[in-house]
Chains A and B, each alone.
Chain A
Amino acid sequence: MNMVQRATEALNRTLPDRAVDPLSTARRVVGQAVSRLDGPSKVTGGATFTADIDQPGLAYASMVPSRVASGRIRHIDVTRAANAPGVIDVITHHNAPAMDTPVLMTLTAKGCAFTDVAPLQDDVVRWNGQAVAVVVAESQECADSAARLVDVVYDAAPARTSFRGLLSEAVFPADVLGEPSEVSRGDVEDTLSQAAFVVDEVYTTPPHHHMAIELHATMAQWSPGDKLHVWDSTQALGRTRHSIAHAVGVPEENVTVTCRAVGGGFGNKTVWDHQLLCVAAARVTGRPVRLVLRRQDVFRMTGGRAPTWQRVALGAAPDGHLQALVHDSVTGIVHENSPEQVSVPARHLYASDTYRIGQKKVVLDVVPNASMRAPGDSVGSFALESAIDELAGHLGIDPIELRSRNEPAVDPTEGTRFSKRHLMEAYRRGAERFGWPDRNRVPGARRDGRWLVGHGTASAFYPYIRMPGGKARIRITADGHAVVTAAANDMGMGTETVQVQHAAERLGLPLDRVSFEFGDSTLPDSPIAAGSAQTASLVITVAQAAEELKKVLLRRAPRHSALHGLKPADVVFRDGGLYRVSDPAQGVSFETLVGEVRHVDAVGSSPMLPLEFMKYSMHGYGAHFCEVRVDATTGETRVSRWVACIDAGRIINPKTAASQIRGAVIMGIGSALMEEGLVDSRAGRTVTASAADYHMPVHADVCDIDVSFLDIPDPLTPMGVHGVGEIGIVGVAAAIANAVHNATGVRVRDLPITLDKIIDGGAAR
């Protein structure tokens, strides 16, 4: 942490907290299980995704991926491709338009990329699968086929592609997302060596891929005056616009980015080479161009989750009191902006007399890794929460009781107060729903026919994040409807639905008199949908717009009306109008206030930098419980029951929020049991580059997932909310590993937990 950051934090601690949002406890619309407004269009095929959009004169692009991980292009011959039927042009580093370096993704800057090298600007190959040419043709089939005819001769150079082989070269990054790369207190190794009970194990996790069902798609069209319109499946409308404008060297106001629907993002629908190449192809050909990644391109041209190596060592007294906590870790990354922050959960979950928690990096010559659902926390918790379970086993203490005995009074590494922390309440309620007292208590002891049955639990955890910046507009129309407008992003998680709910509650309107317009950069700018932060970030902005709207409407109050001369603090939105606080019977309807004009607008801006999480320890928590069944003969593992109880602040919509948690649990089941990105270190090439080779759960792998929320508002957040997109995956893999151990007596510390590892562990007969 640098001095400026330290000074800011010190100053920030002296600032007063924001007032509690009065809507934190409102229940008229917020808190109701409203079905997704976009549901019908999504399931009937009515929704328009990027690849569905057509333009007159559309041309189609296909990228040529490299076949070496490192080196130079000695020779590239496009003759055969250029002469193939239907081909319009072939773009290589010889004729690509000049492009500036993409700006890397960080929390505060406007960058949106995970690679900081613009495509086709030189002859250098940086990873296996990187685009070395783009073919533009009259049809997708012509483009794809001609792309195979681009002849490339490489001078391959030695490449760093084996994460496990390079572990000994790990070094500390400068920081981990602004936090020190390692934090420590006391002599942890000495304490560990003297502890009565010790767990000291290594846990490893492989590369993971996001596997959104929608393939990345972009369409670009230039028009006179250097104007550029880009349709893109992105989760960061504004940042995508900024990144593209910056790369191609046109003013940001010349660029429009449109995105109404995204078929899954999970942190990977950001700026990669393909958007820039699509824009370049449109520039070179003078045609509107569509570029849709093939599934194998998604694996090789966009990044996934970094591989990790983690040592967790715990030392405890016989009563379970933690005396030493070591979490030493290494992640295989490309840029420090995406460090796979596995050391984060250990910084906040347990009180320990001594600790050393940190992470090193190994830089690899692979497609740059990106943020993937709960980056770091997801796989970091696998190691930490497995180790806690192992310790509980050694101690003979219920793992929930062990956690309870090590609950910190303040944030264990930062010393800050918790804005809210109800982890043990989540365990209490989750245990009740699951029937934890009836669990199998002796590993390998419970059998149901051919199945060994086991139970496991682990903590969910995710930081509270609110993105800085952003604006929103509220328009009240003459017929008393509200239209809330913000650029925003909906990757399928229910953004539109919860924002309509929020605005309806805020403005005192029924749901059917509110709509939400989003998905275009010409609308008021919104932050990226990432870090599970979009709801909080939009809510605070819309709330601000609502305050502005009061001012605008009060100025329009007729001279003889009940509102004349009042200040914003004197009025509330209710029943389709503005009413006096002091006399709830006195008010004026929106229709009257709007009067003769067609509509009245008010714009609000995000009120201040999100400094609250520097002053307080602000995190979501939760408890996962699961039952697994392991085939006694084959080691096949099936998850048969799941209970997740989540402490993520106020829940705006229990239906969409539960869907988020459910989806995250399913993704976690995948990471636990089957997901494994395999990089062949000889060529640095991802071998598992299809949905057939990269397994993720199918319906038959997923049981009923019981999701409940504590629904306790955080007093420091807009409307009391926390994010619900990512927290649900954190702890899932550990809960399953713990349950597999409980079922079989075999502890698998290397994900995924496949049947061969269980057999090798000696479980099956």
Chain B
Amino acid sequence: MREFSYAKAVDPEEAVRLAGTGARYLGGGTNLVDLMREEIETPTALIDVSGLAQGITETPGGGIEIGAATSNTAVAAHPRVRHDYPMLARAIVSGASGQLRNMATVGGNLLQRTRCAYFYDEAARCNKRSPVSGCDAREGFHRAHAVLGVSEQCIATHPSDMCVALVALDAQVDILGPAGARAVPLEQLHREPGDTPHLETVLAPAELITAVRLPQATVAANSTYRKVRDRASYAFALVSVAAALRVEDGTVSEVRIALGGVASRPWRAHLAERELLGAPATAESFRRAAETEFRAARPSRDNAFKVSLAPRVVADVLEGLIR
């Protein structure tokens, strides 16, 4: 049996101090413990950070700060989130199950790993699990896999719903590490796979996510999250869309679009947003803009449908936000 040490940190500084080589931070454990059971993750030490910053506080600029150990359930249920950032509440409740959301933390959600079946199967080749071993998904089954931000080495999908909303909301991630504190935009937290799919984020060893900050965004009050999947609940997205929209005189004056289920990381659809700004708020222009985003798509045999499905969903969601 693989033994590991366990320590519960009392504050972030202690957590960082305890995190030596081979350590992993433990939040709700809803993903990490599964990965440990399969020996895909084999930490020698677990630093339990689930008791650290919990809760949601107002920030001076009118935004909110969410402690990294806040449960997904608590975030989705918070009045400020429901009122000012409804896409975030909806993204969270569309993911996992009530039981899992009660356990899962915000920090953990940001760092959850792909559900590619080949990543989970030690008999399969996987560049993410075992660098330079090859990718069995590319020529195998990959209906759920990514079409944006993929590489020859990896086509795995980032599985989070919450992150899709967060990236649309311009979230900032507060990080504490041995070298001190820093903040990065969520959009820059996750890396594209490139030649190093095993490197999934820009976090350095022992760096700990301490909080997520959402700036004030008036447009986000008119926002939503739509998740398209193979069953009504408890399934990862085939395509998901987080969107916020403001229309003035029939013209798009502000828009946020982010995509899940289609990309290697939470995907902000900048190309589509740019195309839409100042464009007529019609189904046709919504769809055309979304299609722009997918011009760079690199679909494979089983997931090509996403390239046509996703723009339809984007258009449908934006149309719904006009009404």
Contacts and interface: CB of A to CB of B under 8 A. Distances in A.
Interface stretch (A209-217, A365-373, A696-704): A696-704
Interface string A39-67: 00000000000000000000000000101
A148 B233 contact: no
Contacts of A764: 312
A145 B39 CA distance: 8
Interface in B300-315: 305, 308-309, 312-313
Interface string A121-142: 0000000100000000001011
A760 to B, nearest CB: 7
B231 A687 contact: no
Interface in B252-309: 305, 308-309
Contacts of A683: 123-124
Contacts of A682: 136, 139-140
A680 B137 CA distance: 10
B248 interface: no
B2 interface: yes
Contacts of A693: 115, 117
Given A689-B117, A690-B120, A699 B233 contact: yes
A636 interface: yes
B122 interface: yes
B262 to A, nearest CB: 13
Interface string B117-148: 11011111000000000001001110100000
A674 interface: yes
B238 interface: yes
A695 B231 contact: yes
Contact of B123 (A146, A674, A685): A685
A638 interface: yes
Nearest to A694: B117
Q: How large is the interface on B (under 10, 10 to 19, 20 to 34, 35 or more residues)?
A: 20 to 34
Contacts of A65: 123
B152 to A, nearest CB: 18
A296 B230 CA distance: 21
Contact of B232 (A86, A638, A760): A638
Given A145-B39, A633-B316, A687 B228 contact: no
A754 interface: yes
Contacts of A148: 39, 122
Contact of A701 (B39, B141, B143, B231): B231
Contact of A698 (B122, B232, B236, B305): B232
Contact of B309 (A634, A673, A697): A634
Among B39, B232, B234: residue with most chain A CB under 10 A: B232
B18 interface: no
Interface string B1-35: 11000000000000000000000000000000000
Among B121, B234, B308: residue with most chain A CB under 10 A: B121
A84 B231 contact: no
A692 B123 contact: no
B234 A698 contact: yes
A755 interface: yes
Contacts of B118: 687
Interface residues of A, number: 45
The secondary-structure label for the interface of chain B is: loop
B101 to A, nearest CB: 15
Contact of A700 (B115, B120, B233, B309): B233
Interface string A721-760: 0000000000000000000000000000000001110011
A267 B308 CA distance: 41
Given A85-B1, A682-B140, A687-B140, A700 B312 contact: no
B183 interface: no
Contacts of B239: 634
B235 interface: yes
A701 B136 contact: no
B278 to A, nearest CB: 25
Contacts of A638: 232
A755 B238 contact: yes
Contacts of B308: 759
Interface string A671-683: 0011000101011
A756 B39 contact: no
A689 B121 contact: yes
A234 interface: no
A688 interface: yes
A701 B117 contact: no
A139 B1 contact: yes
B231 A700 contact: yes
A131 to B, nearest CB: 14
Contacts of B309: 634-635, 755-756, 759
A73 B308 CA distance: 47
B123 A680 contact: no
A765 interface: yes
Contact of B228 (A296, A636, A699): A636
Contact of B117 (A128, A145, A636, A688): A688
A695 B230 CA distance: 8
Top-9 shortest CB links A-B: A700-B232, A756-B305, A700-B233, A67-B123, A145-B1, A633-B316, A142-B1, A141-B1, A634-B228
Interface of B: 1-2, 39, 115, 117-118, 120-124, 136, 139-141, 143, 228-236, 238-239, 305, 308-309, 312-313, 316
14 contacts: A634-B312, A634-B313, A680-B141, A683-B124, A685-B123, A687-B118, A687-B141, A692-B115, A697-B231, A754-B230, A755-B238, A755-B309, A760-B305, A764-B312
